[in-house]
Amino acid sequence: MRIILLGPPGSGKGTQGDMLSRRYQFPKVSTGDILRRAVQDRTPLGLRAETMMNRGRLVSDEIVVELVSERLSADDCRRGCILDGFPRNIGQAQSLDKLEPGRPERAVEIQVGAEILAERLGSRLVCGGCQAVYNLKVQPPRREGTCDACGRTLVRRPDDRPEVIVERLNVYKKEMEPLRDYYRKKNVYQAVDGRGSVEDVYLRLSSYLDAALAEAEGLKEGAGR
């Protein structure tokens, strides 16, 4: 199953995507992570994407669709995957449908109010090496300023500056409404309350997805009979 995780910046898509990836053994495909890695490595693609990312704007559909297309064709995505940060608009959603037509999918939106998002993004730090994410208030590293996993220095994402956060939230609001409708019409959209602890949200998401996966398995078995 292809699971699409939707949600504004700071809604916890990345963290929840990692946890769901472990639960269902589907790889997480995060366009933000792939792009940040390309920027860090100074690849031609990273250099093209960097300015837009630092302004909180979307990178061109052409770039991200190509990235996702390449990633989804890998063997480990055959059973399914968890898409984090893609699609971000209708054009990308249509491109995704063309990549894998007829694949069952669920689009789950983690919903969180603007006030909580601003607070979460303001206290977020990421590892400059392995990109692990920390929150100074609720998930601080064991040693200040240092990644628990790889020991590298923690930094603030350039797009987590207050003025860029405002732009990213505006972009999200504008693009999400048509995307919600797109997946509602396909009967695969589900909103999930993103307030509370990481575990609270994980429980909500996983109980919904457990049922969705069981249903998809049932349909597959029925069709095979």
Residues forming the active site: 13, 88, 124, 157, 168
Size of the site for ligand AMP (CB under 6 A): 17
Select 59 or 213, whichever has its Cβ closest to ligand AMP.
59
Burial of residue 123 (CB within 10 Å: 0-12, 13-18, 19+) is: middle
Q: Is 29 in the site for ligand AMP (CB under 6 A)?
A: no
Q: What is the nearest approach in angstroms of ligand AMP to the Cβ of residue 32?
A: 2
Q: Which member of 159, 175, 183, 192 binds ligand AMP (CB under 6 A)?
A: 159
Q: Which member of 3, 39, 53, 117 binds ligand AMP (CB under 6 A)?
A: 53
**In sequence order, what DSSP letters do the residues of 66-108 get, joined into one string?**
HHHHHHHTSGGGSS-EEEES---SHHHHHHHHHHSTT--EEEE
**Which residues, in sequence order, are bridge partners of residue 125?**
134
Select 3 or 35, whichever has its Cβ closest to ligand AMP.
35
Q: Is 109 in the site for ligand AMP (CB under 6 A)?
A: no
Q: Is 52 in the site for ligand AMP (CB under 6 A)?
A: yes
Q: Is 92 in the site for ligand AMP (CB under 6 A)?
A: yes
Residues 6 or more apart in contact with residue 61 via CB below 8 angstroms: 89, 91, 92, 95
Separation of alpha carbons 48 and 51, rounded Å: 7
Select 38 or 192, whichever has its Cβ closest to ligand AMP.
38
- In eight-state DSSP terms, residue 29 is E
State how far the alpha carbon of 42 is from the alpha carbons of 67, 70, 175, in Å.
16, 19, 28
Q: Which member of 16, 31, 95, 131 binds ligand AMP (CB under 6 A)?
A: 31
Contact between 14 and 30 (Cβ < 8 Å): yes
Q: Which residues bind ligand AMP (CB under 6 A)?
A: 9, 31-32, 35, 52-53, 56-59, 64, 85-86, 88, 92, 159, 168
